[in-house]
Structure 1
Amino acid sequence: MALLQEKIYTIEDIYSLPEGQRAELIDGQIYMMAPPNARHQDIIFSLSRKIADYIDENKGTCKIYLAPYAVFLNADDKNYVEPDISVICDKSKLDDKGCHGSPDWIVEVVSPSTQRMDYSVKLFKYRTAGVREYWIVNPVTKTVQTYSFDGEEDSSQLSFIDEIPVHIFNGLTIRICDLLQ
């Protein structure tokens, strides 16, 4: 008896979705995305502004992109993600379509519908794709799970009141609670 084969989707399927429908593609599987709420957007905006200020003050060359922004993690047509925040320091990865390769730092803000994806599927995918740092910001528990994959790997769970060090930028620490006042 033959087993049913599940369909493998491609980036072409993502671009064929109805206008306004957002989804991500990981290893050929489509994951639909719900619109973010106001708290989610406040966190993304405030955090990206803090990162951008640090880059500007230090005359850095990294670029910051907010979702929806296409990230093609692998050199294939089966992986397409839209991280909440992507920090890309290698400008050769950028073109008009998005980022081709792994961003240096990705931040995802958890929502009830994305929790499993952010803490497991994306964690594995980002790590194996070469992302140097990954943060998962959880507004419900007011925690930030940080992962550094650059050199000696490190992981920490911190609260919104903690000074959270950014591993890819020397001297940058972020207190989420300070950003949300």
Structure 2
Amino acid sequence: MPFPKTNIHTLEDIYSLPDGERAELINGKIYNMAPPNRIHQKLVMELSGTLREYIKSQHGSCEIYPAPFAVFLGENTPNYVEPDISVICDKNKLTDKGCNGAPDFVIEIVSPGSRKMDYSTKNALYSDFGVREYWIVDPAKERTTVYRYEEDAAPIIIPFSMPIAVGIYQNLSITIADTIAELLE
């Protein structure tokens, strides 16, 4: 009995997508991405701005990249993802195409269609490939799940109303509710 044929996709398939269509490639499988909603985009903008201002005020060298920004994880079977926010501190990872290797800090904003992807698939991927810190910001549940993979600790779930310490920085905390207060009312 023959085995069922499986399609293993490559980066060529990602680069062949029609203009305006976005997808991610994880372990040979393509995941289409729906356009983000207004709360999603507001969170991306505000969190990126907060991180950027902090880094500038500290004369830091890390760089912030909001989606769409290509992150390539793995060498032999590359995975292509577009985290909502990537913080990269090692400039040797940056190329004109994106980031080759794990960002130091990744934030994903949960959308109705991305829940399983953000909590499961990407969580495992980011852990396996060396992301230091991963936040899953969930507007529907008004909470953030924080993973600090370097510490090998259990995730922490923090309501939007509480400050979240940014693990890769010594003295930065962010209260999500403050960034989108008018949208949560």
Fold conserved (TM > 0.5)? yes
Tell me the residue number matched to 2:160.
160
Determine the structure 2 residue equivalent to 1:111: 111
Please say if residues 11 and 77 of structure 1, whose CA atoms lie closer than 8 Å, have aligned partners that are also in contact.
no
- How much does 1:9 deviate? 0.3
What is the CA distance between 1:155 and its match in structure 2?
Answer: 1.4
Equivalent runs, 1:68-147 vs 2, <5 Å: 68-147=68-147
Counterpart Cα distance in 2 of 1:69 and 1:14: 13
Partner amino acid for 2:32? M
Q: Which runs of 5+ in 1 are unaligned?
A: none
**Aligned partner of residue 113 in structure 2, secondary structure:** coil
Where 1:145 maps in the other structure, the secondary structure is strand
Superposition deviation, residue 74 in structure 1? 1.1
Instruction: State the secondary structure of the residue aligned to 1:17.
Output: coil
Per-residue deviation, 1:152: 3.7
- Does 2:52 correspond to 1:64? no
Asked whether the equivalents of residues 106 and 133 of structure 1 are also in contact (C-alpha less than 8 Å), the reply is yes
CA drift of 1:5 comes to 2.4
Tell me the SS of whatever aligns to 2:124. helix
What RMSD, in angstroms, separates the aligned Cα atoms of the two structures? 0.9
- Looking at structure 1, the residues matched to 146 and 5 of structure 2 have their Cα atoms a distance apart, in angstroms, of 36
Q: Is the 8 A contact 1:135 1:145 kept in 2?
A: yes
AA aligned to 2:143 is T
Instruction: Name the aligned partner's letter for residue 27 of structure 1.
Output: N
Question: SS in structure 2 opposite 1:7?
Answer: coil
Question: How far 1:3 sits from its partner (Å)?
Answer: 1.6
The Cα shift of 1:77 comes to: 4.5
Contact 1:144 1:158 in 2 (8 A): yes
Partner Cα distance (2:171, 2:165) in 1: 8
> TM (normalized to structure 2)?
0.95
- Runs of at least 5 residues in structure 2 that lack an aligned partner in the other structure: none
Identity value in percent: 50
Q: Could you tell me which amino acid in structure 2 is paired with residue 40 of structure 1? A: H
Determine if contact 1:9/1:78 at 8 Å carries over to the other structure.
Answer: no
| Separation of aligned partners in 2, 1:109 and 1:144 | 9
Measured against aligned partners, the alpha-carbon deviations of 1:24-49 in whole angstroms (never above 9, x if no partner) come to: 00000000000001110000000010
The aligned length equals 181
